[in-house]
Amino acid sequence: MITRARLLPVVAATAAAVAFLAGCGGDQREGPARSVSSAPVSTPAVGPPVVEVTPDGLADAVTLDRVMGHVRAFQQTADNHGGTRASGTPGHAASVDYVAGLLRTAGFEVTTPEFGYQRFDAGPVELTADGDKIDAHVLEYSAGTGGKSVTGKPVEVGALGCAPGDYPPAVRDSVAVVTRGQCTFADKARTAETAGAVGVVVVNNEPKPMLGSTLGPDDRPGIPVVGISSDDGQRVRSSSEVSLSVDAETTPVTTRNVVAETRTGATDDVVMAGAHLDSVVEGPGMNDNGSGSAAVLETALRLGSSPRVPHRVRFAFWGGEEDGLVGSTEYVRGLDAAERRAIALYLNFDMLASPNGGYFTYDGDDSEHQGAGAGPGGSDGIERVFAKFYADRGIPLGPNDFDGRSDYGPFIAAGIPSGGVATGAERKKSKEQAEMWGGTAGEPFDPNYHSPRDTVDNVNTESLAVNAAAVAHAVATYALATNGPDGVPAVGVRQRAEG
């Protein structure tokens, strides 16, 4: 699952920013030194496809033992490649080969489309004014300061800093202080750099921190750029010297998605299920998201490449999710109008085995009235399918807002009904949730989130068993019928709505 710090990457070929609502999360760069081994990856035996596809039958076939076999294979893959499966690394490439190889052997039509983008990694930021610390946040794609600080007199820029004439001669070898508004942050920063500034402090136009702001990956300035609140703006402006240190770098990444499709069923009414295959750089990502990838993979293998169902089923394993939903965004962006209409719905599975987890499904009808609104028409039916599955097992469900932190985001933006389940990330479990699901109140759902500790040893197998069955149950439900009380708009309705 993506964090706020990585919500705005840009696919290199298009230079268009991914802009979905931010979640919460922190950058964790520390961790033990990683060794590289060459231990072979154990591929679990692949079970035969179910003879007759039914929701309960496919759910029963997707067993914990088989799902954990894939999780262990992902862990071995990470162990063999420096402890990570992040996009652009050998660990992710090996994960792609593992998934694609099993699906090809099972007879699926498989592609592994390649794409590129710029990954921005930021660490600590320190801004001081006359020695006093100021709360500052680096703008995405800012330059770093190379392990040292830049120091200079703060010089207030005229107007909003959008024109060269706004920058007085005193800006040279100083830190430009510019107010937010009118033109882009990148325009302000490039103009300040041309005027000779050694750094830029952007003052927000309201009394709150500047979070989630970006310069964009193209034609970036070579000086550090940070943002502060309007309340802190006067402290900086009135100081005699500011010092700025930024730990940040931008790296070009090339990686792949895996897309596999059955060979039977209607091609104009496709059921799609997906999970991101990449981890963060800092760890192997067994819960986030080896768990979802393993459950979707095993569901595909037990469904089989030629099931006797009326609908084509497509499985996706996304790259670049942790850097801003890049793989899924690139995929949806590449669909033409007919291909978008042909996707009946998208099911997303991200973090199914949090150690202190709960049971959440996306709030398709926005009945909770929190955060983002309802999903596209039909998302409410997907929510009901999951609600019934868990209710039948005596498990209460909690609502999960469509906050844009996972790969359903691009599908919702394209008007495709979406849903899925999850077990929680870095948010802390409430007392009421602990009473409902067990676990420890006041602790994160996943205390190992985005860290080297997200290993196979910390996977919640009890949750994974239930949630993997839910993945299979939902896929089979919609492979058999996309209409009905919990269905989605028919192809013709989708076509009329778009046209």
Distance CA 415, CA 303 (A): 27
Say whether both 148 and 106 belong to one domain: no
pLDDT for position 495: 52
Residue 458 to residues 62, 284, 290, 461: CA-CA distances in angstroms?
21, 12, 12, 9
- The chain-wide mean pLDDT, for the chain, equals 90
Q: Which residue has the tokens 């469900």?
A: 397
Bridge-partner residues for 420, per DSSP?
A: 348
Structure tokens at 68: 């954990």
For the cut 60, the answer to whether the pLDDT of residue 56 exceeds it is yes
Residues 108 and 166 in one domain: no
pLDDT (tens digit, 9 = 90+) per residue, 329-347? 999 999 999 999 999 999 9
At residue 32, the pLDDT reads 32
**What is residue 38's predicted lDDT score, i.e. its pLDDT?**
60
Domain count, the chain: 2
Instruction: Say which residue, 18 or 103, is predicted with more confidence.
Output: 103
Whether 392 and 480 share a structural domain: yes
Non-local CB neighbours of 134 within 8 Å, separated by 6+ positions: 127, 128, 228, 232, 235, 236
Whether the pLDDT of residue 423 is over 90: the answer is yes
For residue 174, what are the domain limits? Answer: 121-250
295 and 337 share one domain: yes
Find, among 408, 405, 409, 410, the residue nearest to 426 by Cα: 405
Together in a domain, 283 and 425: yes
Residue 254 pLDDT exceeds 50: yes
Domain ends where: 221, 250, 279?
A: 250
pTM for the predicted model, two decimal places = 0.84
Determine which one of 321, 322, 330, 426 is catalytic: 321
Tell how strand 242-256 and strand 10-11 pair up.
unpaired
282 tagged catalytic: no
Q: For residue 491, what pLDDT band results from cuts at 50, 70 and 90?
A: low
Same structural domain, 434 and 293: yes
Q: Which of 250, 276, 302 is the last residue of a domain?
A: 250
Domain at 241, CATH number: 3.50.30.30
Higher confidence at residue 13 or residue 185? 185
CB within 8 Å of 77: residues ≥ 6 apart: 41, 85, 91, 94, 95, 98
How far does the chain reach from its first CA to its final CA, in angstroms? Answer: 33
Q: Is 169 in the same domain as 82?
A: no
Mean pLDDT for 129-141 is 95
By three-state DSSP, how is residue 352 classified?
coil
Asked whether the predicted pLDDT for residue 30 surpasses 70, the reply is no
Residues 412 and 318 occupy one common structural domain: yes
User: Mean pLDDT throughout 351-368?
Assistant: 94
